[in-house]
Amino acid sequence: MASNDAHNLVEPGINLNAPTCPNREQRAHGINVWYGQASQLLVEAREGKLQARDRDFQQTSGCALNFYLAVRLNTIRDAAVIYHAPVGCSASSLGYRELYRHVPVSLGRPENYDLHWITTNIQENDVVYGAGNKLRYAIREAERRYSPKAIFILTSCTSGVIGEDIEGAVNELQPYISAKIVPVHCEGVRSRLVQTGYDAFWHGVLKYLVKKPEKKQTDLINVASMLSYTWQDRLEIKRILGKVGLRPNFVPEFAAVDQFEQLSEAAVTAPLCPTYTDYLSKGLEQEYGVPYFLYPSPMGIRNTDEWLRKIGEFTGKESEVEKVIEEEHKIWQPKIDAIREQFLRLKGNGEKLTVLGSLGQGRLLAQLPFFEEIGLSSPAAMSQDFDNLILDEVEHLIGTVGDFKILINTFQAAEQAHVTRDLDPDIALTCPFQGCSFKREKGLTRIHSLRADAHPRSTQSGYTGAVACASFLLQSWTSKSFQKTMLAKTADSYKDWWYQQPNPLHYLKREV
C-alpha cells in the first residue's frame, strides 16, 4: 500500500529556491470538505482521489494570512512584522502588546520584551499606482524604529492581485538593512487551505532565517508550538525533556530570532501538531540533516510515552526515557484511572460518554487515543482539513481506536452545527468558531484555550496535561446551564429545515 512518501500523494522535497511553498492542495492533495467513515477517506486518499471541491454555501473561516499568521507572528520577540496589505488584514494583530503579558515572570516569561508590527495600509491610489515604495518605506521605518533582528513581510490578496514585487524590494533593501528580511507569501486568494499559511511561513524561515549549524547541540529539541498550546504546555514539555537532560527550542511564537537561526543545530524536530510542523521538519532534514518525526503528539499518557521514546531514539537516551516514563506513570496514571472511573460511572448503564472533538489534523490524531484512555468514546471527529501527509497515521489510528466518522471542514459552522445536532454527543468541544452549535442540551466545553494561558487547568500536553485536560472535561459535564439556556432563549442561525434533512454537506457542489 502506498505510504505517505509516495510521490503521487505528496510532492517530494522542498525547493527553497522558489519564492514560496506550493499550496497544500498541490503538495499533498489537501482538502477541506468531506464527510464519512475515516476508513473510506483513507481509501480515497490512497487512490489519489482527494480533491478540493466547492460548496454553494460557505462561511468565513480563515485564509493563509488571517487564521493564524496575522494573530501570532507578531509575538516573535526581537522581530518586526510588516503587513503589505489594506488596514483590515492586520486588525487581528491588535492584541500584540497584551499577548503573553499575563504570564507571570516567575513562570519564565522574560520581564522586558516589546513586539511590533506595521501596516503599509494599502489604499485606493496604491492599487492603481503600486505600493512598492510604501513597502520600502515600511522596511526602513521598521529598522529605524525598532532595530529588529528580523523583519517579516506578510503579503495579502491585494498585494498579490496588483502584482507587487516583494522579492524585488527585499533584494534591493537587504544590503542596507541590519535585520534579516523574511518575505512570507500568504495571500489569502492563493489557497483554499489555511495550512498553506503555515508552510509559507516555514518556507520563509528556512530560506532566510535558519543558519548553517556552527555546532550540533545534541540536547536541543525543536518544538514548533502554535497558539493552541499554552504556556503550561511549554512548561510541562520543558519539565519532561529536562528530566532526561534535553532542552526544547520552542518556535515560532514568543521566540527570539536566534532560536530560529539555531533550528539547524538541534538533535531532532519533534511535533506538537504534525500538520503545522511538517514543512519545517522536512526542510530542516533536507537542508541540515536534522531528523524528525511527526507522530504522535504528546497528548495523553500513551502518546506522551511514545513521543518521549522517539526523542530518546534520536538522542541516544532510550534508557533514561524509560526511567522517566516509569516515574511519571507512578505519579499520574492513578489520577487518570480515577478520572476514567468517574467517566465510566456517569451514564450508569456501563456505556461510555461520547465526545465530539478535534480541530486540525494534529488533534484529530492525538485526541482519539487520549479520549479512549480516559474512558470516553468518539463517534466522530472533526478536522479543519485533511491531506495525504497523515495517511499512515490515520491508518494506525483506525487500528487503535476503530473506525469513526470524520467531518473535514474549516469552521463551516452550519455543517458543524448539523453534525453536532445529528450525532448528539454527550460532550461537544468547540473552538468556539462554530456559530450556534454550542447551543444544546448536553455537555459543552472548549477544545483548547487559544491563548498564552498560564493556568495549570489549561494544560493539555504531557503527563500533567493529560490529567488536567481529563479533569477539565469531567468538570464540563457537571453543568450545562449556559448552553441549555442559550438553546432555549436565543434564536438559531439557520432555518429548521437544515436540521431536518440528513446531509451536513447538503451544499457540496455536485459537479467536479
Partner 1 sequence: MAAKIDEIPEDVIYPEVMEAPRYSCALAGAYSTAVGIYGAVPILHSGLGCGIGQLFGQFYAGGQNAGGPQGGTSTPCSGLVEEHVIFGGEDKLRRLIKSSIELMQGDLYAVLSGCVPSLTGDDVESVVKEFREQVPIINVKTAGFLGNSYEGYELFFEAVIDQLLKELPIKKGLVNVFGVVPYQHIWWKGNLRAIKEDLRKLGLEANIIFTEFSGLENLIKIPAAELNIVLSPWNGLRVAKKLQERFNTPFITLPGVPVGPKQTTRLIREVSQALYLPAEPVEELIAREERHSYRFEEYFGDVMILAFPQPYFSVVADSGTAVGITQFLTNEVGYLPDKVIIADGMPEENREMILRELSENLECIIKPDVIFEQDSHLIRENLKRGHSLVLLASSLEWPIASESGAIIHITVSFPSFNRLILDQNYAGYRGGLRLMEDIVSKYCGPL
Using the rule CB under 8 A, is 73 a contact of partner 1? no
Query: What x-and-dash track marks residues 191-220 binding partner 1 by CB under 8 A?
Result: xx-x--------------------------
Which is closer to partner 1, CB of 230 or CB of 412?
412
CA–CA separation, 398 vs 375, rounded Å?
Answer: 17
CA–CA separation, 283 vs 15, rounded Å?
Answer: 9
HEC string for 188-232: HHHCCCCHHHHHHHHHHHHHHHCCCCCCCCCCEEEEEECCCCCHH
Distances (CA, A) of 256 to 260, 270, 277: 7, 19, 18
Using the rule CB under 8 A, is 70 a contact of partner 1? yes
For partner 1, which residue of 49, 101, 345, 457 counts as binding (CB under 8 A)? Answer: 101
Using the rule CB under 8 A, is 162 a contact of partner 1? yes
Q: How far is the CB of 285 from partner 1 (least distance, A)?
A: 30
User: Strands of 268-271's sheet, edge to edge?
Assistant: 247-252, 220-225, 268-271
Amino acid at 83: Y
Using the rule CB under 8 A, is 494 a contact of partner 1? yes
Which of 56, 11, 46 minimizes the C-alpha distance to 506?
56
In terms of DSSP bridges, do strands 33-37 and 405-409 run parallel, antiparallel, or are they unpaired?
antiparallel
Using the rule CB under 8 A, is 254 a contact of partner 1? no
For partner 1, which residue of 109, 140, 302, 329 counts as binding (CB under 8 A)? Answer: 140
> Number of residues in contact with partner 1, rule: CB under 8 A?
84
In terms of DSSP bridges, do strands 180-184 and 150-155 run parallel, antiparallel, or are they unpaired?
parallel
Using the rule CB under 8 A, is 495 a contact of partner 1? yes
Q: How far is the CB of 427 from partner 1 (least distance, A)?
A: 20
Using the rule CB under 8 A, is 511 a contact of partner 1? no
Which is closer to partner 1, CB of 108 or CB of 432?
432
Using the rule CB under 8 A, is 65 a contact of partner 1? yes
Q: How far is the CB of 96 from partner 1 (least distance, A)?
A: 7
Which is closer to partner 1, CB of 41 or CB of 186?
186
The secondary structure of 249-313 as a DSSP string is EEEETT--HHHHHGGGG-SEEEESSHHHHHHHHHHHHHHH---B-----SBSHHHHHHHHHHHHH
In terms of DSSP bridges, do strands 405-409 and 353-356 run parallel, antiparallel, or are they unpaired?
unpaired
Using the rule CB under 8 A, is 56 a contact of partner 1? yes
Q: How far is the CB of 204 from partner 1 (least distance, A)?
A: 18
Which is closer to partner 1, CB of 118 or CB of 469?
118
In this structure, are residues 191 and 23 in contact, taking their beta carbons and an 8 Å threshold? yes
Q: How far is the CB of 466 from partner 1 (least distance, A)?
A: 29
Q: What is the DSSP letter of 21?
A: P
CA–CA separation, 413 vs 417, rounded Å?
Answer: 6
The interface with partner 1 within residues 377-436 (CB under 8 A) comprises 410-414, 432-436
Using the rule CB under 8 A, is 123 a contact of partner 1? yes
Which is closer to partner 1, CB of 8 or CB of 147?
147
Using the rule CB under 8 A, is 19 a contact of partner 1? no
For partner 1, which residue of 1, 105, 488, 491 counts as binding (CB under 8 A)? Answer: 491
Burial of 395 (0-12, 13-18, 19+ CB in 10 A): middle
Using the rule CB under 8 A, is 107 a contact of partner 1? no
Residue span binding partner 1 (CB under 8 A) among the ranges 97-105, 298-306, 421-429, 466-474: 97-105
The interface with partner 1 within residues 427-446 (CB under 8 A) comprises 432-436
CA–CA separation, 50 vs 9, rounded Å?
Answer: 9
Q: Specify the 3-state DSSP secondary structure of 7.
A: coil
